[in-house]
A = this chain, B = another copy of it.
Amino acid sequence: MKQDVRIGLIGTGFMGRSHAMAYHAVPFIFPAAARPVPELVADVSEEAARAAAEATGFRRATGDWRELVRDPAVDVVDITTPNSLHKEMALAAIAAGKHVYCEKPLALTATDALEMTQAAEAAGVKTLVGFNFLKNPAAGMIKRIIDDGGLGDIVHFRGAFDQDALADPSAPFSWRFERAVAGAGALGDLGAHIISLAQYLIGDIDEVSGQINTRITERPVAGGAAGYGDKAAPDAPMRAVENEDEAQFIMRFASGATGTIETSRIATGRKLWLSYEITGTAGAVFFTQERMNEIKLYRADDPAGQQGFRTILTGPAHPHYANYFPIPGMGLGYNDQKVIEAHELIEAIAGDGPLYPDFRAGWKTCRVVDAVLRSAEERRWVRVGEV
């Protein structure tokens, strides 16, 4: 079943380069599996695309993403452009019969995401949304423990995704703060990750009651596209922030489990605090991405006096890890999650297998984001099915 899958990559920013690097790494880590072929890359101009192709080892380049979408040598279209462009590109790729790999969040609104989902399902193409934290072997192992009943019935989910990357009020205005480009703020950018994990591990969320807050209401404008760590000039003009710095909500899952989720981009001290505690009747799990190679597992059936959260280092017994190393504790990094994600994509396309999270899953995440926003605006419980 080993087979080549040809990639058409749109976008060559941080995330585009991360995808390209992953494609090159896949054959090293998964030598027995299908291989990605870096076929064609598109950027805003042909020059930019050609430079990117050279830098990232893609065979061909184009300044027109529509050309890429139509190219017969492209099996899967990989979209790493700003959020606001996802919909148009994905729909075009689907219309061209291509499989689609789209960065998160899938779309600016749940409505858009649903349209994309329905188009993909009607066309019968495979889709994958780039929620790479689900690809961490730790997450896969936690999923397996839950599915095997290791935690019993799930009682509660407590999740957070906190960062302080934008806690400094002098951090310049960027696309992240602009509703038309980014959509929601912390909730869409960071919260979507922890929501997607909640759905992956526990299932559908039924209703929410939330609040949002924009604490830093305006930011200085720096010339050019401002990235993390950039600085504005001291006399830079200010621009109003258009989306939330933080959000919190309580929720109920379809299963009856309760939960809370919080997210903040101004959480002083937290760097990648994508964390969750899942409480079941027979055990519990705690995880934080800041220690991405550790699972904390509590089993209620441990003998009296010997009960406690185990600190499990990921190892060969966990999904995909054995492809990396023969012993536990060696340590995967963020980029390895992308390698595993790319591998799953290629393997599913080559072998016609299932992919998760697909557009439907991505839409469900958008739907929760929108439900929380509506709940915060209308100050009431909102059923996710309403949006």
Contacts and interface: CB of A to CB of B under 8 A. Distances in A.
A250 B252 contact: no
Contact of A327 (B17, B31, B228, B268): B228
Contact of A326 (B56, B229, B248): B229
A111 interface: no
Interface stretch (A90-98, A232-240, A274-282): A274-282
A252 B326 contact: no
Given A248-B250, A302-B310, A267 B279 contact: yes
A306 B282 CA distance: 15
Nearest to A322: B229
A318 B336 contact: no
B290 A269 contact: no
A128 to B, nearest CB: 21
Interface string A299-318: 11010111111111101111
A158 B318 contact: no
Interface residues of A, number: 98
Given A55-B27, A229-B316, A331 B279 contact: no
A215 B155 contact: yes
B329 A332 contact: no
Nearest to A329: B271
A272 interface: yes
A192 interface: no
A325 interface: yes
A308 B316 contact: no
A81 interface: no
Given A209-B250, A269-B300, 19 more contacts: A17-B28, A20-B28, A145-B306, A162-B279, A167-B281, A167-B300, A209-B209, A211-B250, A211-B252, A213-B258, A248-B258, A267-B284, A268-B298, A269-B309, A272-B327, A289-B331, A308-B310, A310-B311, A311-B311
